[in-house]
Amino acid sequence: MMKQRSFLIIKIVLLTAVIGGLLYAMNAGAARLNQGQEAESMKQLENSIRKATMTCYATEGVYPPTLEYLKKNYGIQIDESRFTVFYEVFAKNLMPEITVMENQERVD
């Protein structure tokens, strides 16, 4: 009787450990998937801005003077709560420097 009880306790402990390990692995996998999606969103936004910039140059003969100009005339939409875009113009005939960065969440 004592052996059966100790085997039951061991089974319960092992089952709890296995379930805990599976939950931990699922949580870690979901976090990695979310990071990959954020990186892909950032890359897509940067590519969209670059394409709109080149379209403007092909259409108008000059690169867009500001990011706001791209938003207004070429339909660029930026989720400013998630991303910050740096758009630096050097000259009308030189491709602007475009950098997209993910905003960091504040922890108070």
pLDDT tens figures, 41-96? 899 999 999 999 999 999 999 999 999 999 999 999 999 999 999 999 998 889 99
Amino acid at 13: V
Name the region of 75 (left: φ>0; alpha: ψ -120 to 50; beta: rest): left
User: What local confidence, expressed as pLDDT, does residue 1 receive?
Assistant: 65
Of 69, 52, 73, 64, the C-alpha closest to 93 is 64
User: In sequence order, which residues have a C-beta less than 8 Å from that of residue 73 and are 6 or more positions away?
Assistant: 56, 64
User: In sequence order, which residues have a C-beta less than 8 Å from that of residue 97 and are 6 or more positions away?
Assistant: 86, 87, 88, 90
- Site of tokens 């113009």: 89
Q: What is the pTM of this model?
A: 0.67
pLDDT above 60 (res 106):
no
